Amino acid sequence: MATGQSDTYNLPYPQVDDNVNVHGDIEVLVTTLEGVLQGLGLSYMKLDVKNVTGSTIPAATPVYATGFSTKTTIAVALPSTTNPIIGLTKTSIANNSEGVVVVSGVMPDVATSSFANGSILYVKDGGGLTTTRPAEGAAAVGVVANSDAAHGIIVVEAKGNGTWGALKNGMS
C-alpha cells in the first residue's frame, strides 16, 4: 500500500520499496482525492487551455500540452508519440477556441455508453479513448465509473508512461 504522502493535499503515493497494489492504491488515491476536491468545492482539477490545431477536438479526448499562447495550447494525444498526457477535454473545443481539460478527478456528463463500468481507458490509435491497451505502452488515462450515453462518469487520473502504475497494467 502507498506509504508516501504529499505535503500540500496529503495525497498518498507509493515509495520505491512499497509493494505495488494497483487496485488498492488507486482506490485509496481516488477516495483521498475525492475528499480533497470536495473540500475545495470541486469534483475535478482542471486546466484552462487553447486549441490551435486547426481542427475541433471532441469532448473526452486525451490531449497533451504543445506550448503556451494566452493559455496552454493542446493537441490530440496518440499512444505512440504523445506523452505525458495532461488530461481529457471536458467539452469539444473548436480550433482557436479556449476550453477546459480535466487533469484529475471525477469527470461527469460524458458519453461512456460504449464502455463497461470499471473499464480502464487508454489512448486510442488515431486519438480518443479505448479499452485496449496500446502496444506502444501503458497510456491509461481513466476508469469508467458510470457507463451512460450522456451522463457517464470517468475518473481521470495519471497520464503518460513511466508512472508506478505501469508496473501492473494500471493507471499509468
Task: Tell me what pLDDT residue 84 has.
Answer: 79
Tell whether the model's pLDDT for residue 10 goes beyond 80: no
Q: Which domain, by its residues, includes 147?
A: 4-168
Provide the number of structural domains found in the chain. 1
Whole-number average pLDDT of the chain = 80
Residues 31-59 have a mean pLDDT of 81
Tell whether the model's pLDDT for residue 43 goes beyond 80: no
Taking the alpha carbons of 129, 114, 109, 149 in that order, is the dihedral positive or negative?
positive
Least confident range from 52-56, 91-95, 123-127: namely: 123-127
CB 62 within 8 A of CB 88: yes
Quick count: other Cβ atoms within 10 Å of Cβ 111?
15
141 phi and psi angles, rounded to 5 deg: -125, -10
What's the pLDDT tens digit per position in 79-108?
A: 876 567 889 999 999 999 999 999 988 898
* Side-chain half-sphere exposure of 13, counting CA atoms within 13 A: 14
Express as a percent the part of the chain with pLDDT over 70.
69
Q: How far is the C-alpha of 22 from the C-alpha of 165, rounded, in Å?
A: 6
Task: Tell me what pLDDT residue 12 has.
Answer: 64
Amino acid at 131: T
Does this model's pTM top 0.85? My answer is no
Which long-range contacts does 32-36 make (Cβ < 8 Å, 24+ apart)?
A: 33/9, 33/104, 33/105, 34/105, 34/106, 36/9, 36/10, 36/11
